[in-house]
């Protein structure tokens, strides 16, 4: 009887996992097939992007934005090392893999989309299980990293908004290359690595990461002061 019960429970878990994967893939495909935002509504010196009206902006600096989606922090940061690598070295369409060996990876996806300039861009999604009912979503398109820590019930909605924002990102690559040194690139990448070394990362860690990426708090602006391209 116990063996039968265990078998049934395992079958239910496998079925639930399969349904969840299909649901996530459906969110990705439907969001990618949606029309691009007609314009960006947030502009920084090095990049601009669109934020849906239902998404809040908690903090904003030259290279980072701390968003709020459905009550959860979502951090977007300019991927300076990848941008510079693509400018200086032979182009490589592969998204560098994160070291996630200490985590339960529940979903991975690599795809492509056309941005507002009709440029084909690759992107990669990692979704990892942190603890019961909590996951981290990690999105990268070689221009920005977007990271969230959310509940299972908020996963699909958060991912949808993250992809919408990602598709709208437009970066001034020449200005990025002219501005940053190799040392600054290494330091910024190290901060991201430290986040994933926490087991498990907490939602509040995204605020900590934002603070470390932006030690000069005078750069911060709130949503009302962030330059907009309406």
Domain positions in the chain: 2-219
Rg, C-alpha atoms of the chain: 18
| pLDDT at position 184 | 63
Residue 143 clears pLDDT 90, i.e. is over it: yes
pLDDT at residue 9 in the model = 36
d(Cα 139, Cα 136) in Å, to the nearest integer?
Answer: 10
Contact in structure between 230 and 50 (CB atoms under 8 Å): no
DSSP 8-state secondary structure symbol assigned to residue 181: -
In this model, does residue 146 exceed pLDDT 90?
yes
Q: Is the pLDDT of residue 131 over 90?
A: no
Q: Provide the pLDDT confidence category of residue 5 given band limits of 50, 70 and 90.
A: very low
Which of the residue ranges 7-11, 62-66, 162-166 would you say has the lowest mean pLDDT? 7-11
Which pLDDT value is given to residue 21?
Answer: 79
- pLDDT score of 213 more than 90: no
How far is residue 69's CA from residue 56's CA, in Å, rounded to a whole number? 7
How sure is the predictor about 51, in pLDDT bands with cuts at 50, 70 and 90? very high
Could you give the percent of the chain with pLDDT greater than 70?
70
Q: What is the DSSP string of 82-150?
A: HHHHHHHS----SPPPP--TTSEEEEEEEEEEE-TTS-EEEEEEEEEEEETTEEEEEEE-SSEEEEEEE
What's the confidence (pLDDT) of residue 193?
Answer: 67
Mean per-residue pLDDT, 125-130:
91
**pLDDT value at residue 216:** 66
Q: Do residues 40 and 170 make contact, with C-beta atoms less than 8 angstroms apart?
A: yes
Q: What is the pTM of this model?
A: 0.81
Q: What's the pLDDT tens digit per position in 187-209?
A: 556 666 667 666 566 666 888 88
For the segment 77-110, what is each residue's pLDDT rounded down to a tens digit?
998 888 888 877 655 566 666 667 777 888 999 9
């Amino acid at each position: 009887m116990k063996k039968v019960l265990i078998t049934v429970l395992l079958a239910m878990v496998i079925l639930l996992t399969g349904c969840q994967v299909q649901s996530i893939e459906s969110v990705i495909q439907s969001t990618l097939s949606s029309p691009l935002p007609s314009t960006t509504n947030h502009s920084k010196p090095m990049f601009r992007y669109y934020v849906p009206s239902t998404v809040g902006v908690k903090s904003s600096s030259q290279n980072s934005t701390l968003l709020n989606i459905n009550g959860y922090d979502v951090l977007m940061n300019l991927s300076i090392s990848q941008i510079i690598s693509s400018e200086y070295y032979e182009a490589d369409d592969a998204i560098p893999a994160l070291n996630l060996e200490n985590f339960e990876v529940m979903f991975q996806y690599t795809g492509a989309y056309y941005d507002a300039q009709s440029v084909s861009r690759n992107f990669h999604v990692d979704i990892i299980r942190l603890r019961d009912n909590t996951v981290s979503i990690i999105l990268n398109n070689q221009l920005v990293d977007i990271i969230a820590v959310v509940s299972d019930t908020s996963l699909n909605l958060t991912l949808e908004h993250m992809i919408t924002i990602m598709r709208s990102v437009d970066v001034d690559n020449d200005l990025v290359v002219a501005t940053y040194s190799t040392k600054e690139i290494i330091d910024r990448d190290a901060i991201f690595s430290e986040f994933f070394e926490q087991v498990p990362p907490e939602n509040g860690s995204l605020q900590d990461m934002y603070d470390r990426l932006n030690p000069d708090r005078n750069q911060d602006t709130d949503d009302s002061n962030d330059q907009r391209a309406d």
